[in-house]
Amino acid sequence: MNLRPPYDALLIALCYVVIAVLWVAFSDWLLVLLVPNPALVRNLQTYKGVGFVVLSGGMIYLLMRVANREQHRTEMQLRRLSRAVEQSASVVIITNDRGEIEYVNPRFTEVTGYTFDEVIGQNPRILKSGATSPEEYEHLWKSITSGHDWHGEFYNRRKDGGYYWVSATISPIRDTQGRITHFLAVQEDITGRKHAQENIERRNRELLLLNRVISAAASSLQVEEVLSVTCRELAITFNVPQVVIALQGQDSDTLDIVAEYGSLHPGAESALGLTIPLHGNPAIECIMESHEPCAFEDVQRDPNMAVMRPILQRRGVASTLLVPLLVRNQLVGLIELDTAEPRRFAPEESALAKHVAIAVSQALDNARLYQKVADHNDLLMRAIAEHTEELQRVKDRVEAILNNSPDAILLLCSDGRIETANPSFYRLFGIEEDVYNQPISQLVDAEDVLALRRALKVAAEEARVMRIEVTARRGDGSMFDAGIALSPFEERGMRRLVCVLRDITPLKEVERMKDEFVSNVSHELRTPITSLKLHHYLLGVNPDKRNDYMDSLAREIERLADIIENLLMLSRMDQDHISLQLAPLDIDTLLMQYVSDRALIAEDRGLELVHKPLAGLPLVQADRGLLGQVLSILLTNAFNYTPSGGRVEVRSLLAEEDGCRRVGFSVTDTGYGIPLEEQPYVFDRFFRGQVAKETGSAGTGLGLAIAREIVERHGGRIEVASSGREGEGASFCVWLPADCE
């Protein structure tokens, strides 16, 4: 059994009491039992009282010893406890139940600076810093007076005015009756930890601020957005009512406030748009020189604020921290942290503001670079767009040329295979399927294949433009005359050929007509000249018939003159050397004159010539001589191509067309007529129809061409109508504009 000191002493005492009682009651017995000698028993019985006394004394002695040992042990413990408290690293304060300090340990003095004697009898509130609220103190007092422990932290003031943090536990101390007689406060100095924690928190806040500003700077190239985020974050972190940012203005002599957050007074005017002079401004010179933030605690009095003071005072700024924004060591702006109450900016605050300014400066630089790149990009894009547009225009033009060219244009490989062909090619050849990779030689007559291949070879190998005329074959097998031009060019190191293929049928026709004309003209000129020569000869050999010969000579000369006149007339018209002498003309008067002039000739030819005028015919603006020439040509043709016995009728005409009245005349005969297939060509130059050839009538094929030129120059038109059947004759109508509305 392991009993604690008071109990083992009692037990020993109890044992002694029991032994003593047993001794008194049973000592005789024991003596008889234990001692065989009766004499000795008797002797011993006489000392029974002595034994009792000895026993009692021993017992008391023993009790005393036990009691002493307990006291000693308690003293030892108290001493140990006292040493522990004295040497404790914790602050120990013991107050009485009224809160008056009765004991503080040496650590208390170390921490607070107050000595033991200075605080005895004092209330611990001498340490109050004001950081703990009265409610908190009330709660503390309630807890400990109601017998509970209180745990918490105090921000206290030392004797020297400095501050320190403690973590405290305050416990009530009760007496044996359970009454609270004292309070024990054990406190740990946690100032270091608190400072470290505050440092961490401050660092965190700074990092958060930097992070927000840098994130804004990194995520946005919009300067305004970065500046606005910076103002807001700085105002929150530094707990200042207003932050503004000014950037270098257009004239570079001022800083213009371009961003702001918060205001110094309710309803205060915005600072945006205000300008800060750069030169002759000591505050700006201060940050320009040092490249460091400058704090001005008293805007009102600081001499460096002389220039800025009016601006700041108007806004109600009491203290300001100016932080330079530097891009490549050049001041481009500043951040202004403003307060309405005087404030001192700590060095670490300046340092943090500087870090923020570096991030903002970087963002400004990036934004400017980006703007430069964007501007350059814009320029580039515009140039590309213009070039693309130009290319598109060129492409459109080339396409328009290719698509609308009447000639077939093909792109050929050097060996003559077709790569591409324009729409005209397909139209001209009447082909629908793609001709890609087909040899061009298959489009020409077999007889021309060799010549074409030779031309291709020379063009490709000698890089010479080749021209060749071939007979081309359409898709339906029909042939036409084609002129081919082969132009070589280089494309990515490959020789290719542009082939322009033209239908030269009309040219060939013109050529043929020209040949025919030359032969006709030569014939027509030769005939009168031969006749002239003959009559000239006859005049010499047979002067009696002089008059007859002279008449013939005159007619031939006349005929020759006509032919030459016609040729000259066309030539003059081609060169635009003929001007119309317009004057109001009565068509019927003209018709009547010509009909009457030709009456004898008609009679001579056995033809009936009739004029049918129209009443109320309006006048026309016309060149009388030229219009008479048209009528003359038509009458001549009617006489030439109507056999004797026929009839020639001349009529004046009136019609209305598209709101315009038209006046005209017609010459209708009952002659050979004009075959339908010839009708499209009768107005072409040098064209002479079958009937002209068969009848051998004099002519050059120029009459109707001249007539059409003259009529068209009057703004009119000439038409032919004929059934094409012999004997049904032909009719020519001339229409001229009268008075158009």
Shortest spacing between CB 522 and ligand ADP, in angstroms: 15
Nearer to ligand ADP, 164 or 517 (CB): 517
User: Residue 600 CB, nearest distance to ligand ADP (Å)?
Assistant: 20
Residue 502 vs 685, nearer CB to ligand ADP: 685
Beta-carbon count within 10 A of 116 CB: 13
Q: Which is nearer to ligand ADP, 5 or 643 (CB)?
A: 643
| Cβ-based burial of 462 (10 A; exposed 0-12, middle 13-18, buried ≥19) | exposed
Phi, psi of 533 (to 5 degrees): -60, -45
Distance CA 665, CA 718 (A): 10
What is the Cα–Cα distance from 466 to 318, expressed in whole angstroms?
Answer: 94
> By the 8 A CB rule, do 704 and 698 touch?
no
CB 549, min distance to ligand ADP, A: 27
- The pairing of strands 242-248 and 254-261 is antiparallel
Of 124 and 671, nearer to ligand ADP (C-beta) is 671
Q: Which residues of 269-289 are buried (b: 16+ CB within 10 A; e: fewer)?
A: eebeebebebeebebbebbbe
Full DSSP string of 499-537: EEEEE-HHHHHHHHHHHHHHHHHHHHHHHHHHHHHHHHH
Minimum CB separation from ligand ADP for residue 554, in Å? 21
Nearer to ligand ADP, 425 or 641 (CB): 641
Cα gap 255→395, rounded to integer Å: 52
Find the shortest distance in angstroms from Cβ 722 to ligand ADP. Answer: 7
Residues in the chain: 741
The CB-of-622 to ligand ADP minimum distance in angstroms stands at 21
Residue 395, both tokens: 């492409």
Query: Do the Cβ atoms of 357 and 246 come closer than 8 Å?
Result: no
Q: Could you tell me the CA-to-CA distances from 327 to 330, 411, 616, 711 in Å, in that order?
A: 5, 60, 97, 85
* Residue closer to ligand ADP, measured from CB, 124 or 703: 703
Beta carbon nearer to ligand ADP, 164 or 687: 687
* Closer residue to ligand ADP in complex, CB, 590/692: 692
Output the CA angle 125-130-133, nearest 5 degrees.
Answer: 95
Q: How far is CA 113 from CA 117, 127, 162, in A?
A: 12, 10, 10
* Contact present, 338 and 242 (Cβ < 8 Å): yes
Least distance from ligand ADP to the Cβ atom of residue 470, Å: 33
Do 501 and 407 form a contact (C-beta atoms < 8 A)? Answer: yes
Q: In the chain, what is the greatest distance between 2 CA atoms, to the nearest angstrom? A: 243
Give whichever of 549 and 639 is closer to ligand ADP, judged by the CB atom.
Answer: 639
d(CA 686, CA 704): 9
Q: What minimum distance in Å lies between the beta carbon of 664 and ligand ADP?
A: 17
Distance in Å, CB of 544 to ligand ADP, minimum: 36
Q: How far is the CB of 720 from ligand ADP (least distance, A)?
A: 8
Position 720, amino acid: V
Name the residue nearer to ligand ADP (CB basis): 243 or 609.
Answer: 609
Strand partners, 338: 242, 320
Least distance to ligand ADP, CB of residue 593, Å: 21
Question: Nearer Cβ to ligand ADP, position 14 or 564?
Answer: 564
Residue holding tokens 């946690």? Answer: 190
CA distance linking residue 704 with residue 720, whole number of Å: 10
Residues that bind ligand ADP (CB under 6 A): 633, 637-638, 641, 669, 671-674, 682, 687-689, 691-692, 699-705, 730
The answer to whether the CB of 720 falls within 8 A of the CB of 732 is yes
Cβ of residue 697: shortest distance to ligand ADP, in angstroms? Answer: 7
CB of 356 or CB of 682, closer to ligand ADP: 682
